[in-house]
Amino acid sequence: MWCFVSRPDSVLLEVELGPKACGQECLDKVCKKLGIVEVDYFGLQYSGGKGTDSRPLWLNTRNRLSRQLDGPPPYRLRFRVKFFVPPHLLLQEATRHMFYLHLKEDLAEGRLTAPTNKAARIAALIAQAETGDYDCNNADLYASCYPAYLPTWSNDILSAIAAEHDKIRGMKRATAEYNMVKECSELEGYGQENYAVKDSSGVNMHIGVGPEGILLMDDDLNTIQR
């Protein structure tokens, strides 16, 4: 059977498996294709399932794919970072690259936020990683790589990104990606997944699970208890 596995940058990987294959077999094949040895940081997600909403769910890698996924193959899965750690613990460039792609997606979709000055630094590192050294004639570039969650775009923001980008002239792509992951690892909510719940009185709350442990938050994602 076939599985189509998407990376955070929407690149699609085709994986062929036996009819009784478990999730771990699929994950191992994906990591092999990507040259990743540090498999334990990653997982596979699927959308929905019996009795669930459309929120991505983590595949149980110990169980057969056919027992977790609805319908016949080919199955469509998402390859994502499951366990976030400080970037200095990542040994492979391929692993760091996937952390970079995942965090870039989280920024663009608003799951991870940063104050403006920090976001300008992050955007400059993304620009350096993906287009190289600062070019004063390429202003449109910054708009495309600046985190989409910011409510407005202004010349001041553009100038801040350009200034940060100019400071890192000559930085190699891999170094820029590592530094971007490092900047993101210092943000509140790094690697955290939030789940909507209700307390015993029926009040909406969220539980956050991430590198910092388990957080209890109100409906506006303000921390109540660690």
Q: What is the pLDDT of residue 157?
A: 80
R_g of the chain computed on alpha carbons: 19
127: nearest Cα among 99, 94, 163, 96: 163
- pTM over 0.75? The answer is yes
Question: Residues 15, 29: contact at Cβ < 8 Å?
Answer: yes
Residue 27: count other Cβ atoms within 10 Å of its Cβ: 23
Among 17-21, 62-66, 114-118, 169-173, where is mean pLDDT lowest? 114-118
Q: What contacts 15, CB < 8 A, 6 or more positions away?
A: 2, 3, 4, 5, 26, 29, 30, 33
> 193: closest CA among 57, 94, 51?
57
Q: What local confidence, expressed as pLDDT, does residue 20 receive?
A: 93
Q: Residue 36: CB partners within 8 Å, gap ≥ 6?
A: 42, 92, 94, 95, 98
More confident residue, 120 or 216: 120
Q: Which positions ≥6 away from 8 have C-beta within 8 Å?
A: 79, 80, 98, 101, 102, 104, 105
